[in-house]
Amino acid sequence: MEEVGTGLLDRLDAMQRVAASAPGGPLLIVAGPGTGKTRTLTHRIAYLCAELNVFPERCLAITFTRRAAEELRHRLDGLLGPVAEDVTVGTFHSLGLAILRENAEAAGLPADFRIADDADRAAARAEAGDDPAHYTALLRKQDLVDLDELLTLPVALLRGDRKLVAHYRDRWEWIFVDEYQDVDDVQYELLRLLSPADGNLCAIGDPDQAIYSFRGADVGYFLRFSQDFTDARLVRLNRNYRSSAPILAAAVQAIAPSSLVRGRRLDPARLDPESPLVGRYPATSVADEAEFVVRTIDELVGGLSHRSLDSGRIDGRSTSLSFSDIAVLYRTDAQAAPIVDALTRANIPVQKRSHDRLRDRPGVAAIARELRHADGLDGSLAARVRLAGQVVADRFAVPTLDGAGTVRPEDVRSAVDLLTPLARRCGDDLELFLGQLATGAEVDALDPRAEAVTLLTLHAAKGLEFPVVFLVGAEDGLLPLRWPGAEPDPDAVAEERRLFFVGLTRAQDRLYVSHAARRVRHGSERECRPSRFLDVIDPGLFERFGEAEPRRPKDRQLRLI
């Protein structure tokens, strides 16, 4: 446990400290990438509890992913010690589930209602056809709640019950929301119900990293925070602790045409005099691009024959650069295969991170159903998962014959492996385990300590940082992504630009951007132009490997915060 008290804010810079120690009332922290959002949020909670006598049980911290919630919880434990357990930390879905569990009867649900899994949903959909009312009735008959309803039902409940609203407002007097730019309509409504307009709501985020509109997120809620909440205080964090000055300059220029932050700037805290420029490689083909990645990694980590973990040097500083320091980012999953092939051929270990939900993996639904229905299973939850896997594997060893079962024994084995860490994290709480599974616990194949190059999509890279980043496929058509026949929509292009910005700002020391002149997309090979997003970056920031590209007009300007 870190020292609590006057020293608590010592590890923050001046603006982080202003944000962490701001008085109550609505507070919006507009913070760019690498400016220490999680550090600021956790220190604010710790400061309020340790210095201003706020009760930890009056605090509710909401994140968007389970991984982020776990990180927040871990850091709060470090700052506050055991009392951190009294802070409610969770995702929007787990919050909705908690409210529904506490008010099941009022919501017309049995106390032991369950969350529908994919098989439940498919069965109800098959029977109900196009009739959404009927669909819900079918679920209810089996005491099931659909995933979306974890938010819509609590909202409906609170809307009709002022006393309940008062109860929760009293209980969670202090609310903190991370990544507020990703809030959607129903999450926003839940927040409005939980927090009065002049409440102690602290929202932190970066509108220029809003990349989830395809899931219903609306950055507009971030932009109009001060209209929604009375006398909202605004604090900006601009000091970036992550990236070298050239990487930051390129990122800021890249986002400028669509920036939603007034006077967007990111000041480098790191001022290494000899930081390398951003590498730019115009590849002739996808294979050439993959070879460039292999060649460069090989140079950075050391020759193939005499590779050693501490042979890398950056800026004349001796670094212990290893494969785990390197990430390859791409727009679409389809881009991974040629890179994985080339790295594997060169004996470079790779790990691919996926954002897939556990419940979408083959075998997982069957195991979850077995766990729920079988009484005979005994032992720890992890042991029960193994047993359930065995039962499922045995059962499917023969039915696969009629074509109904699609679960192969190897799927079941890998499902058990994927479920075991979640089972351990949930202790012996089966309901918690099934709830987490249903609310979208992710397959996390990424091990930060693995001695391997990490491959991941730009979306999956959000929030992460790596000493060396390759951003491949920086081509019009991929970045911005375009579907055949689809009209270019300025809002969609702006979101793609934000995704590009997210990608660039993952890099700490070295950033390489590459594009191929030809690529197979939608079944046919076509010529590709370098991404228009590269046009607005000062050519002087690139260490170029090829010819200059013609400039193209900028995208239109959007709203500013």
**What is the residue type of 382?**
A
Total residues interacting with ligand ATP, rule: CB under 6 A:
17
∠ CA 256-262-265, nearest 5°, is: 60
Backbone angles phi, psi at 195, to 5 degrees: -120, 125
Least distance from C-beta 243 to ligand ATP, angstroms? 9
CB count in 10 Å sphere of residue 133: 8
Q: In this structure, what DSSP letter does residue 15 have? A: H
∠ CA 147-151-155, nearest 5°, is: 150
Looking at the DSSP bridge assignments, the partners of residue 507 are: 466
User: In the stretch 498-527, what mask flags binding to ligand ATP with x, by CB under 6 A?
Assistant: -------x----------------------
Handedness of CA 328, 333, 335, 340 (dihedral sign): positive
Q: Could you tell me the CA-to-CA distances from 414 to 334, 361, 363, 382 in Å, in that order?
A: 22, 9, 8, 14
The bridge status of strand 326-330 relative to strand 350-352 is unpaired
Instruction: Say if residue 32 carries a ligand binding annotation.
Output: yes
Comparing CB distances to ligand ATP, the nearer of 37 and 532 is 37
Instruction: Say if residue 523 carries a ligand binding annotation.
Output: no
Comparing CB distances to ligand ATP, the nearer of 109 and 251 is 251
Placement of tokens 């990487």 in the chain: 247
Q: Could you tell me the CA-to-CA distances from 94 to 149, 230, 265 in Å, in that order?
A: 12, 28, 35
Least distance from C-beta 497 to Mg ion, angstroms? 19
Comparing CB distances to Mg ion, the nearer of 63 and 324 is 63
Q: Which does 31 bind (CB under 5 to 8 A by kind): ligand ATP, Mg ion, none?
A: ligand ATP
CB of 222 within 8 A of CB of 208? no
Placement of tokens 């099934």 in the chain: 434
Give the span between the Cα atoms of 525 and 530, in whole angstroms: 16
Comparing CB distances to ligand ATP, the nearer of 39 and 519 is 39
Instruction: Say if residue 462 carries a ligand binding annotation.
Output: no
**What is the residue type of 11?**
R
Q: In this structure, what DSSP letter does residue 125 have? A: H
Comparing CB distances to ligand ATP, the nearer of 383 and 464 is 464
Q: Which does 241 bind (CB under 5 to 8 A by kind): ligand ATP, Mg ion, none?
A: ligand ATP
The bridge status of strand 453-457 relative to strand 542-544 is unpaired
Q: Which does 521 bind (CB under 5 to 8 A by kind): ligand ATP, Mg ion, none?
A: none
Alpha helices in 195-327 (DSSP H): 220-223, 225-228, 245-255, 286-301
Which residues have C-beta within 8 Å of that of residue 390, sequence separation ≥ 6? none
Closest to 59 measured CA to CA, from 84, 79, 40? 84
Contacts with ligand ATP in 220-259 (CB under 6 A)? 241-242
Q: Which does 242 bind (CB under 5 to 8 A by kind): ligand ATP, Mg ion, none?
A: ligand ATP
Comparing CB distances to ligand ATP, the nearer of 13 and 535 is 13
Among 8, 9, 12, 537, binds ligand ATP (CB under 6 A): 12
Instruction: Say if residue 383 carries a ligand binding annotation.
Output: no
Instruction: Say if residue 423 carries a ligand binding annotation.
Output: no
Instruction: Say if residue 33 carries a ligand binding annotation.
Output: yes
User: Which tokens go with 22?
Assistant: 């701001």
Least distance from C-beta 11 to ligand ATP, angstroms? 6
Comparing CB distances to ligand ATP, the nearer of 116 and 204 is 204
Backbone angles phi, psi at 352, to 5 degrees: -110, 130
Least distance from C-beta 278 to Mg ion, angstroms? 22
Least distance from C-beta 46 to ligand ATP, angstroms? 15
Instruction: Say if residue 154 carries a ligand binding annotation.
Output: no
User: In the stretch 24-63, what mask flags binding to ligand ATP with x, by CB under 6 A?
Assistant: -------x-xxxxxxx------------------------
CB of 422 within 8 A of CB of 435? no
Instruction: Say if residue 34 carries a ligand binding annotation.
Output: yes
Among 463, 473, 477, 480, binds ligand ATP (CB under 6 A): 463
Among 26, 463, 467, 473, binds Mg ion (CB under 5 A): 463
Closest to 41 measured CA to CA, from 180, 249, 195? 180
Among 13, 102, 356, 444, binds ligand ATP (CB under 6 A): 13
Query: DSSP 3-state assignment of 449?
Result: coil
Which part of the chain contacts Mg ion (CB under 5 A), choosing from 245-253, 426-434, 457-465, 475-483? 457-465
Q: Could you tell me the CA-to-CA distances from 76 to 61, 219, 367, 403 in Å, in that order?
A: 11, 27, 34, 50
Contact between 33 and Mg ion (CB under 5 A)? no
Comparing CB distances to ligand ATP, the nearer of 498 and 532 is 498
Q: Which does 26 bind (CB under 5 to 8 A by kind): ligand ATP, Mg ion, none?
A: none
Among 8, 9, 15, 16, binds ligand ATP (CB under 6 A): 16
Positions touching ligand ATP (CB under 6 A) are 12-13, 16, 31, 33-39, 206, 209, 241-242, 463, 505
Positions touching Mg ion (CB under 5 A) are 37, 463
Q: Residues annotated in the binding site for ATP, as ranges?
A: 31-38
